[in-house]
Structure 1
Amino acid sequence: MPPRRTVALSQELIVTACLELVESGGPGALTFRNIGRRLGVDATAVYRHFRDKDDLVRALADRLYEEALAGFAPGEDWLDTLRDAAMRVYRAFAGHPQAAVLAASRSTRREAEINAIEVLLDALRQGGFEPPEAARYERALGDHVLAWAAFEASFVMLPPEVREGDAGAPLVYAAQSRERYPRLAECAPHLPPVTVPQFETALEIFLVGLRTLAPERPSDTEPVTPGPVTPEPVTPEPVTPEPVGTEPVGQG
């Protein structure tokens, strides 16, 4: 057996190997033994950096967040910031479908995910939401993005013949009875195939909802500069003088 080569292990190096393993061999390939074999080290060396597989999965998820936010800068408008950040995270996870199946449902509790949460919260606060609403909507948007990425990833992982069958679904819908399904008949020519992701459409619907819910901010209206106050003239009411006369004298 050839001697193992000396490798200066680091968490970054291990996570890179994990991503390569998962993308080439699927989620089941992520084992400490496979990682050690890929890096040319004993599997026990990996345990010095990650205590268990769950720790590895969370680090893998954080790598996708890091990839998503590389070069990110907030937009001029808070909705533009949300849109850009959401699209970046979606593309990073959907672009690594094998890893997304493992990682999309996890909270990493690491730096890159924390940065992503801060970006979304800051945009929502700029939109005028108070902290309780900003926290709730950040969670909803984050889950929305990751759920779509996981959905797309699970479709990509289906056997080719299954994907081909699903891709023909619109043709089946279009062949249904017009009398029984009149709305389906009129919309059938416009039904997108399942192979064409609809995340951007779903995201726009979500953002429209947020814009509707956003409270009006001072920056949304033209500033009003108070001018000098001129008191309105006061017209005195006419005074009717009481008649002056002689008091009646009693008769005695």
Structure 2
Amino acid sequence: MARVGSERVRRRPTRAGVVLDPNMIIDAALRLIEAPGGNALTVRRLGVELGADPSAIYRYFRDLDALLLAIADRLIGDSLAGFEAGPDWLVSLRELGERVHRSMLKHPRLVQLRSTRFTAGPNELRADDIGIGLLLSAGFAGSDAVRHFRDFIDTALALATMDAAELTPSQQQTEDRALAAAYASLPAEEYPHLAAVRGDLPQVTASAFPGVLDKLIDALSRAAPGAG
């Protein structure tokens, strides 16, 4: 991702007297991405934020895309902070999924990037190593461990992407009112099954993540070699 290792970059002070490093650039880029009013990240604005010539960024990252992948890898690392796999592989796998989901919701403007791209960075590799290791410890063969972890993590990422969709308060209120009105006026003769569960229909708008996570954990528990 980085153009060259940070220790080999000629670390020159910026015009503001600050010596850049990759982490400093990532911090500044995150501030711009999460700025009020929308993502403001451009190389020019990043240079202003750092008090450096924009071209200085290219001494650390080959282009803006490489910087974005480095940011994504940093966020994966943040989500793993303090995590240690315990003796119960199902409990640890659940925690891993929950950490991924929370991290995605914390940075909603980066969910599309994180759910569709591989960073190939050290933190993503560590997360994959942990997850696949948990499944191997449960007795799954290598190919099955890889396949199950892919399904598990992609589901967590996809649901987090849906949950992180940014609606304005006005949009959310309009949507809630429209759904409430639609549910209240359902004619039983036309929609008999929906009318029968009318009082439970508001659950449709709740996050599916907790329930799907339960189902995934249960399915893996049953599929593990030696299970019941």
Deviation at 1:193, TM superposition (A): 5.1
Q: Does 1:209 align with 2:219?
A: yes
Query: Aligned partners of 2:216 and 2:21: how far apart in 1?
Result: 39
Distance 1:205 1:26, change over 3 A: farther
Match of 1:135 in 2: 146
Q: State whether structure 2 residue 191 is matched by structure 1 residue 181.
A: yes
Matches within 5 A, 1:102-251: 102-154=113-165, 156=166, 158-168=167-177, 169-192=179-202, 196-216=206-226
After superposition, the C-alpha distances for 1:191-246 in whole angstroms (9 at most, x for unaligned) are: 345664231111111111212222216xx8xxxxxxxxxxxxxxxxxxxxxxxxxx
3-state SS of 1:191 partner: helix
Q: Residues 155-182 of structure 1: CA distance to partner in whole angstroms, max 9, x if unpaired? A: x2x3433222223325423421122222
Which structure has the greater CA radius of gyration?
A: 1
Q: Indicate which of 50, 55, 59 corresponds to 2:70.
A: 59
- Distance in 2, matches of 1:81 and 1:131, equals 19
Contact 1:61–1:104, Cα closer than 8 Å, also in 2: no
Normalised TM-score (structure 2):
0.86
1:92 aligns with 2:103: yes
Counting helix residues as a fraction of each chain, which structure ranks higher? Answer: 2
Structure 1's 110 and 160: CA in aligned 2 closer, same or farther, altered over 3 A?
same
Structure 2 residue aligned with 1:12: 23
Deviation, structure 1 residue 52: 0.9
Rate the CA distance shift 1:182–1:61 in 2: closer, same or farther, 3 A: same
Q: Name the TM-score, length of structure 1 as normaliser.
A: 0.78
Unaligned regions of 5+ residues in structure 1, if any?
221-252
Aligned-residue Cα RMSD (Å) equals: 2.1
Say which structure, 1 or 2, has more relative contact order (CA 8 Å, 6+ apart): 2
Query: Mean Cα displacement is larger for which, 32-41 or 188-197?
Result: 188-197
Q: Do 1:36 and 1:43's aligned partners in 2 also have CA atoms closer than 8 Å?
A: yes
